[in-house]
Amino acid sequence: MNEIDPRAIVASNARIGPGTRVAAFAFVGEGVELGEDCVLEPHAVVRGPARIGRKNIFDSFCSVGGDPQDLKFSGESTKLEIGDGNRFREFSTVSRGTTQGGGVTRIGSHNLFMAYSHVAHDCVVGSHTVFANGATLAGHVVVDDYANVGAFSPVHQFCRVGRYAYIGACTVITQDVPPFSRVVTERETHCYGVNTVGLERRGFDRERLSAIESAFRLLLRSKLNTSQALEQIRAQLNGSPDIRELVEFIESAERGLHK
């Protein structure tokens, strides 16, 4: 037996496998085949034609099986194929294929698509992959098994991501990513000083700001390394609670410090 909330919308020709639960306000469209033990949380949307395997979880407000985002698409019948044990988190999106691209978007099994991730038309995704928040595939991309696509990383159309590859967060992919590799955009993140305007808005007076600015000059503008700068900050400015907080924060840093 499956469990379909009376407030859900399920197309008359949709096929719902045994043990599948469709929650209130979820939508199952025309031509959708859902395998057994799937879960559609409230407001999840699954459109067809789509053939979907067992034990897939569709979280609230995901949209899976929608029309391809391609200006050439004019309503042709294309489809989506999904394996078993995948999870589509909130606001993730997956498009069906296009006739020009073969007509099918394919996703394997045991993948995690985090919030706001996107799989475009005609993509082929293997199994055991992870798409972090905001990871985005353009059309016709191939992602092989066990690959990880980092948060807010777009992959250009027709690119391939090899098995076990790792794409770091905020990395723009415009060429193929070799299997077993780690690809990360170089980051030049710097601390540029005190958040003066923000602190003023929070009621910091000129005396407090002056002490903080002096500490940051020693930390960022002098030729001292961090340990030497902390010694000078303690010696010159340690009477201020704000300075003690800054020093304690830096001393307890386990991942280094943006400077």
Domain span(s) for CATH 1.20.1180.10 in the chain? 196-251
Mean pLDDT of the chain: 95
List pLDDT tens digits, range 84-109.
999 999 999 999 999 999 999 999 99
Q: Are 7 and 27 in contact (CB under 8 A)?
A: no
**In CATH, what number does 1-187 get?**
2.160.10.10
Handedness of CA 215, 221, 222, 228 (dihedral sign): positive
Which one of 48, 83, 85, 121 is the catalytic residue? 121
pLDDT, average across residues 15-23: 97
| Percent of the residues in the chain that have a pLDDT greater than 90, as a whole number | 86
Task: Bin 195: left if φ > 0, else alpha if -120 < ψ < 50, else beta.
Answer: beta
Q: Are 19 and 2 in contact (CB under 8 A)?
A: yes
Which one of 85, 122, 126, 134 is the catalytic residue? 122
The reply to whether CATH 1.20.1180.10 applies to domain 196-251 is yes
pLDDT, average across residues 124-143: 98
Domain span(s) for CATH 2.160.10.10 in the chain? 1-187
Residue 122 bears catalytic tag: yes
Residue 139 bears catalytic tag: yes
pLDDT computed for residue 215 by the predictor: 93
Which one of 108, 126, 139, 150 is the catalytic residue? 139
**Strand order in 39-40's β-sheet?**
3-4, 21-22, 39-40, 57-58, 87-88, 112-113, 130-131, 148-149, 166-167, 182-183
Confidence category of residue 254, pLDDT binned at 50, 70, 90: confident
pLDDT computed for residue 135 by the predictor: 98
pLDDT, average across residues 178-198: 89
Contacts of 192 (CB under 8 A, 6+ apart): none
